[in-house]
Structure 1
Amino acid sequence: MAAADLGTAEWERSKVTNQDVNLLKRLGLMKKEDAIRFPSEESYPNPPMEYRVSFVDHLIRGLSTPIHDFLRGLLFVYGIQLHQLTPNSILHISIFITLCECFLGITPNWILWKRIFCLRRNGSHSTTYNIGGVVICVRTDVDYFDVKFPDSVQGWRRRWLYIHEEDANSVEHNIVPFDGSAKIQRRHSWDAEASEEERKATEALMTRIHELQNTRGKELSGVQIIAYFLRIRVQPLQARKNPLWTYAGENDANRLSKDLAVKDLEKLVRKITSLNKKDPIPSSCRVKPYSSTNPLPKNHPSMDSLPPLPEGGDVEERAIVTDDNQEAPSFVNEPADSRKSAGSVEKDAASEDTTSAQTPPPAVSPKNKRKRNEVEDSGTSQPKETALSPQKAAYDPYLASLIKKLAEANERANTLAQQLEHSEKARKKAELDATEARAEADKAKVDAAGVEDLRKRLHTAETSLSDHIAAQSAREEAILKRLRTQSRRFVARTAQEFQLEEPVNDPLLDALSFLEVHGSEAREGIDQAKAGLSRLFPYFFPKKEEPATFLNLAKCFNPSEDLGLRVRHENMKVAVENTVALVADSQQSIDWAKVGDTDQIEQSRWKSLIKAAKPNTKKILAYIGIKPSSTPSSSKPEV
C-alpha cells in the first residue's frame, strides 16, 4: 500500500518568535533591510518577487543567499527543492563544505560526497513528508564524523520565512522557484556511487579524513567543525568570492557579523546538536584549519569536482524510480537524521534500476517543457553517451555540441599523452637526481650533526671552565676578606704585626704564615687542655668512657649542672657512710634517727659539737682516705 503524501497539508501559518528574530539579527542574517521578510497571515507560502521560502533552522545552520554552487548542484542532481531538506541535512552539507575548504584544502568535492552520503525519504510506510521529506544519510560502509545531531528538531516546519534571492548574475545560480506542491520522487542519483577510477582519485582524501578523526591528541570532531564555522561568522552554504582556506579573520569580506559572545556561541552549538549543558563546547579545533595565517602548503593538490549543473537555464529531469516499481521503498524517520541513520538503509534492488533504465520518463524543462534525449543520470559530473540515430543527431544541437566537445577532449588527451611520454624520461631522470641529492643531503646532515655536537661540547666546556674560574675567584676573594679581618683582630690584641723574613706585600701569604706560626701555640694549648680534662674525667664521670675527641670531651665538662657540686655531694655521701660504719664498728649504741634529724640542732649547738669532734676529725678522714684542707669550716655539710 502506497504511503500517504501530506503535500500542501503540511503548511500552516508561520510561527517565527521574537527570540528567533533576535537570533537572526545577532548572526548578521538581517544586516540588509530586505534580506528577510516574515509572513503575515498566510498559511501557505506565497513568496514575493525575488524571494524564496526558507526556515529559521536552515539559516542558523549555515544557509545564506546566493547559495553555494555545490548546494545548487545537489538540489539539481537529486531533483529536490530546498524546503524538502531537513535541518540536519542542511547541517551535513555545511559540515562537509567546511571540512573540504578548511581541513582538506580543496573545493567541495562531488566525488568525495558520493563516497560518503546518499539520500533517503523521510517518513514511514504509511506517511511521507513534503517539508523535510528528504534526509541525507552517511553510507553504512563509511567511517565518518560523529556529528551528534539532535534526535528531533521541534517545530522547525512552522518557522518558515522568505529570504531575498540576491542577484548572482545568472538565473541558474539562484535557488529553484518555490513549488510547495511538487512531490518528492526518488531517483537513481540518490544512490549514486563513485566509480572505481573516482574512488582511487579520492582515496588520499578519505585517508586524510581518517587521520583527522583518529590522530591521538589531535582528533577532529563534527562538533569542532560546527563550532568553527559558527565562530568565524561565515555561512558555508553561501556563494563566496574566496574559499575558507583564505579566511582573513575579523576583516574577512565573507563575515556576516562580529564574533558571538561565548555564551551565545555555546547556546547555539547546543541548539543545533544533541549536546547538553554538561557537555563542554570546544573553544578551538585540535587541528589548525587552513586560513590566511595558516596557508595551504606549496604544490597542494587541487581537486575540483562539482555536481552537474543545469546549462542555459534548463533543468534536466533526473531519472526517476517510481513508487509503482519499488519493491522495497526506503524510508528514514526524521529523528534518525544522524550518523546512525545510515545503518538502517540499503540500496534498492537491482530490478528497480533495470526497469527504470528501460523506460525512463521524458526530460522536462520547468521553463519551456522542452524534451531532451533520455539520459539516465548516475549522479556523476560527466554525462554518459547515449546511442542516437544518425538522423536525430543531424538536427539535435545538444548532440552536436556534445560531439564537438568530445572531439576537443580527445585532441587534448592525445596532446597530453605525448607530453606525458616526453615527461616520463624527465621524471625518471629527476627521480635519479633526487635520490643522489637525498644521499648527499643525508651525508651532509650527518657531518653537520657531528660538527654541531662538537661545537656544543666545546661551548659546554668553555662555560664550565668560565664558571669554575669565577667560583675560584669568588672563593679567593672570600678568603682574603676573612684573612684581612683576622689580621686586624690580631693587631688589635697583640699590638704587633707579623712580618715575613722576605715580605713581598702579599696579604694572603702574610695571613697564612701568621696562622702557621701561631697555630702551633693553639694546638699546644688544646693538647694541654685535653690532658687536664682527661685527668679530671674519671673523677667527674667514674662510670663513663672518655670520648676520643677534644670537642666531645670538652662538651662533657659544659653541662647545665655544676659538676664540682655533684662530686662534693658524692664524696660527702661516702664520708657519711664511712663514719656510720666506724661508729658501728666501735660498738656504740646510737639512735641514728635522731642523728639524721640535724634540722633540730640549733646553730650554736652545731658549732659546739663540731668543736668537740675536731680532735678526732683528722683520724676519721685519714681512715676513709680523705686528706683535709687546712681551712677550718663550721658550716653544715652540703647534702
Structure 2
Amino acid sequence: MSSSFSGALIEDDDAGFGPERGSWQGSSVTRREIEWLIRTRRIPAEVSCRLPGSELSPDVKEGEYVVFMSHFSRGFGLPLSDFAREFLDYFGLQPHHLPANAIASLSAFISASEGYFGLWPSVHVWSKFFQIRSNVVPDKSLHPSEKLLTQCGAASITPRRKSVFPRVTGLESCKKWHKSFFYVKNTGTEDKIRLPVFSIGTPSKVNWTYNPRRSHVLAELFETRLKELIRAGLRGEDLMATFISSRICPFQKRTHKLCYMSGPLDPNRVSTVELDNYLVFKRVRAIFKTEMPEDWAWGLKPFTRERPPPALGLSFTCIKITRANPADLLNISAG
C-alpha cells in the first residue's frame, strides 16, 4: 500500500505485547550514540547526558529529564520548539508517553506546516487531522474503560475519520523503542531542554478528546489549502523527505521556519553535508514504512529561502499551478 493515500500516520502497536506491553525494560543506549547526538547538535553543549545503569525504569537525579534515542532518530531535538512543548503541555504528556512512531508522525506534520504553508505548527491545526489513542495493558477480565494505560507509549497518534492529511506510516519493527532511554540535565542557568518536569506516571488524558471541528478558522483554511496541495501532487513521501533532506530536527527550537532554510551553513542544521536522493531514500526507509523507490522524485517541493511562501492571510484565491512549485498554488492575501 502506498503511503501517499489520504489519512495520517497509522501506528502499528509498537509498545509490545502481552502483560509486559509498554513496560520499562531497561536501556541499551551507548556512549557512542550520545556523542553522535551532541556532535550533530541534536543536544546542545550546555546539556549533560548520563547513561542508565542496570535500572529497568528511570531513576532520575535532581534536575534530570528522560529522553529516548529512538525519538531523536525521528526528529526529536533539544531544546524543544514552542510547538513541541505546547503539544506536551496541552495533552499532559511526557516523552515516554509517545511511541517512536508518534514522533515520526509529528515530524511529518511540522514539515507540512513549516515547509508547505510557511506557518509555525499549531496544536489546534494538528487536532483537525489527528487524535490521540490510548494504549492499554491487555487484560480480558476488565472492561475496556477499566484497563490501565501502558507505562511507555500510552499515547499513540491516529488520523481522524476522513482526515485528508497525506498518509505516513511508522515502522512495525520499533516495538522496543522505549529501551533507548537516557538522562539529560541543564548545566547552565538557561533552559536548553524545555521539557516538562519528569514524572514517571501515566498521562492524565487531559484534552485528548479535543476536536476543533469547524470552530477554528486557521484549521479550516489549512485543510482547504492542503486539499489543493494534494491535488497538485503533495504526497506523504514529500513530508518524510522534507525534514530529512533539510537536515533539521523538527522538534528542536530553531531561529526560523523550515521554509526559510538557507543552505549547508544554516545554523539550524545538524550537519553541513548535503544528502543526495539515494541517502534521503535510505533515511526515509529507516524510520517510515513506504514504497518510495530508490529513484524517487518530489511530488511537490517545499518552499525555500530562494522561493519563500506567500504571506498568509484569511482569503484564498486559487490560481494556475505547477506540480513542482507550491508557491504557484495559491495567491494568499490579507483577509
TM-score by length of 1: 0.41
8 A Cα contact 1:83 1:131, kept in partner: yes
1:205 aligns with 2:218: no
**SS state at 2:226 partner:** helix
Deviation string, structure 1 residues 111-148 (Cα, Å, up to 9, x no partner): 21121111111135526411111111110121221103
Q: Which residue of 2 aligns with 1:192?
A: 210
Shift of 1:8: 12
Say which of 160, 177, 184 aligns to 1:163: 184
Partner residue in 1 for 2:324: none
In the alignment, structure 1 residue 256 sits paired with structure 2 residue 274: no
Which residue of 217, 226, 229 maps to 2:243? 229
Q: How many residues align?
A: 289
**1:214-264 superposed Cα distances (whole Å, 9 cap, x missing partner):** 32xxx2222221222112111111111222222111121111212265465
Question: Distance in 2 between the 1:100 and 1:151 partners?
Answer: 26
Contact map agreement 1:52 1:165 (CA 8 A) in 2: no
Q: Does 1:136 align with 2:151?
A: no
Secondary structure of 2:84's partner? helix
Matching residue's letter, 1:178? F
Work out which of the residue numbers 78, 101, 124 in structure 2 matches 1:111. Answer: 124
* Cα distance change of structure 1 residues 125 and 15 upon mapping to structure 2, 3 Å threshold: closer
What fraction of aligned residue pairs are identical, expressed as a percent? Answer: 26
SS state of the match for residue 73, structure 1?
A: helix
| Bigger proportion of residues as strand | 2
Report the residue type matching 1:143 in the other structure: V
Counterpart in 1 of 2:313? 301
After TM superposition, the structure 1 = structure 2 runs for residues 346-357 of structure 1, keeping only pairs within 5 Å, are none
More helix by proportion, 1 or 2? 1
Secondary structure of the corresponding residue to residue 11 of structure 1: coil
Amino acid at match of 2:209: D
C-alpha distance in structure 1 between counterparts of 2:187 and 2:131, whole Å: 29
Q: Structure 1 pair 179/36, CA: closer, same or farther in 2 (3 Å)?
A: same
Distance (whole Å) between structure 1 residues aligned to residue 19 and residue 27 of structure 2: 18
Q: Does 1:183 align with 2:202?
A: yes
Distance 2:204 2:211 in 1: 19
Equivalent residue, structure 2, for 1:275: 290
| Partners of 2:99 and 2:155 within 8 A in 1 | yes
Cα distance in 2, alignment partners of residues 169 and 104 from structure 1: 31
**Structure having greater relative contact order (Cα 8 Å, sep ≥ 6):** 2
SS class of match (2:169) = coil
Distance 1:20 1:105, change over 3 A: same
1:221-620 aligned at under 5 Å gives the runs 221-259=235-273, 262=276, 264-275=279-290, 279-281=292-294, 285-297=298-310, 299-301=311-313
Equivalent-residue separation in structure 2 for 1:81 and 1:168 (angstroms): 23
Q: Secondary structure at the match of 2:158?
A: strand
Distance (Å, rounded) in 2 between the aligned partners of 1:301 and 1:166: 42
CA distance in 2, matches of 1:107, 1:168: 27
Residue 170 to residue 186, structure 1, CA distance change in 2 (3 Å): same
Describe the SS at the equivalent of 2:168: coil
Q: Does the 8 Å CA contact 2:238/2:298 hold for their aligned counterparts? A: yes
Residues 81 and 176, structure 1, Cα contact 8 Å, conserved in 2: yes
The letter for the 1-side match of 2:153 is: G
Q: Cα distance 1:174–1:7, how it changes in 2: closer, same or farther (>3 A)? A: farther
| TM-score normalised by the chain length of structure 2 | 0.74
Change (3 A) 1:39 1:201: closer
Instruction: For residue 55 of structure 2, give the secondary structure of its aligned residue in structure 1.
Output: coil
Change beyond 3 A, Cα 1:111–1:186? closer
Counterpart CA distance in 1 for 2:211 and 2:188 is: 34
Superposed CA offset, 1:268-303 (max 9, x none): 221211137xx4157663323222111222x43289
Runs of at least 5 residues in structure 2 that lack an aligned partner in the other structure: 1-17, 140-147, 316-335
